[in-house]
Amino acid sequence: MTGQIKLSALVDQIEEAIQTSFEGEMFWVVARIMNVKKYASNRRCYLTLEEYENGIKTAEMRSVFWASAYAEIEKFEKLTGQVFKDGIEITCRVKVRFHKVYGLNLDIVQIDIAHTIGTLELERQQTLDRLLKENPHTIQLFDGVYRTFNNRLPLPAVIEHIALITAPNSDGQRDFQQEMAKNKHQYKFFITEFLTTIQGDNAHKLIAEQLTLIEKSGLHFDAVAIVRGGGSQTDFKPFDDYELARYVAHFPVPVFTGIGHDRNQSIADLMAREQKTPTKVAALFVDHNFEFENNLIELKTRFFDLVENQFQQAKEKVAHARRMVKLASPEAILNRGFAIVMINNKIITDPKNIREQDELQTILRDEIIYSTVTRKNNNEN
């Protein structure tokens, strides 16, 4: 065996070769991240960058974010609304590093966040297009607004029975329940909780399962609230899932979402009635019922006014009739200076019945005058 060298000598040569080729160089690479292990306390993240072609892995490199680059992960999560986790494709800037003991690594120094946002947006748009294409009668787009079977369902006049899909012991659950319980109008709501995990890879399936439970429960619900709250602004990808969005769009009870992110609307939000946060969903239910109560009060006032008017009009009509009758009475006629002429206690209305020498009784207001007719002339007036 000639030409034997020590391992360290070989490793030195490899190191030198790598340094010669890659010293001071940095590269932008597109890869899928896998085996992500984040250590937030010492701000490091170990992972592998992988590439696949037709489902077959064609490249893999161990990689690391050192403390100096860890902020890139935080920035990524904040701006994309997505957790930095296995399976995501990223574009990142790397430098090649070789360690005599630990071998070859890529140090990630920067992430092209715009690329990821673009990729996510593209996926999202593809899902929306598919929803429109495959459900033309129940999901439509008008002036930038998605009109679905679900979000066009009329709301009942009063919302009382609510199915609440949320995570157990979560901020969302607490915020929603508190807002409903402390409503200033003291409305009573009947809330049935359907608890499940609402974040993570399987969340879309678990939420869909809860919707199925609601549908099959045989219970009457006026509305469904899907809420998730608290600080996490990330990981709303489950709500962009095609199957969940389609289920929401066709759900027979009005769905309200309050899944707690301000950056963007999820596709499930677009298929339902979106209120951003659990508190806002609860407030909407309270306001909806308050509006009904207001309408009722207005109707009651109008009803009372109408009843009052009707009585007033009837009273005025009767009072008018009373005045008319009073004016027509014999007393009123006599008061106005007219007289009633009688012969033998019989009222004379036709003067032809009066002859000369007849004894007349002329009835005035206060007196009766007895007289004898001495002469009759025609009244020229």
- Alpha-carbon gap, residue 249 to 47, rounded angstroms: 38
Tell the smallest beta-carbon distance from residue 319 to other proteins (Å): 9
Tell the smallest beta-carbon distance from residue 306 to other proteins (Å): 11
Tell the smallest beta-carbon distance from residue 327 to other proteins (Å): 8
Output 117 or 363, the one with its CB closest to other proteins. 363
- Alpha-carbon gap, residue 67 to 45, rounded angstroms: 8
Tell the smallest beta-carbon distance from residue 336 to other proteins (Å): 14
Tell the smallest beta-carbon distance from residue 304 to other proteins (Å): 7
What is the total residue count of the chain? 381
Residue 112 φ then ψ, to 5°: -85, 90
Q: Taking a C-beta distance cutoff of 8 angstroms, is the pair 272, 279 a contact?
A: no
CA dihedral sign of residues 147, 290, 257, 252: negative
From the list 76-84, 163-171, 230-238, 307-315, the region that binds other proteins by CB under 8 A is: 307-315
Tell the smallest beta-carbon distance from residue 344 to other proteins (Å): 13
SS3 state at 175: helix
Q: Is 368 in the site for other proteins (CB under 8 A)?
A: no
**Number of shown-chain residues binding other proteins (CB under 8 A):** 18
Please report where in the chains the tokens 């077959």 appear, as a residue.
56
x-or-dash string of contact with other proteins, 318-357, rule CB under 8 A: x--xx-xx--xxx---------x-----xx-x--------
Q: Is 304 in the site for other proteins (CB under 8 A)?
A: yes
Q: Is 8 in the site for other proteins (CB under 8 A)?
A: no
Around Cβ 201, how many Cβ atoms within 10 Å?
14
Beta strand pairing status for 139-142 and 103-111? unpaired
- Which of 9, 314, 364, 368 touches other proteins (CB under 8 A)? 314
- Alpha-carbon gap, residue 243 to 228, rounded angstroms: 19
Which residues share a beta bridge with 223? 162
Query: What is the token pair recorded at 355?
Result: 């002859």
Q: Is 302 in the site for other proteins (CB under 8 A)?
A: no
* Interface positions with other proteins (CB under 8 A): 304, 307, 311, 314-315, 317-318, 321-322, 324-325, 328-330, 340, 346-347, 349
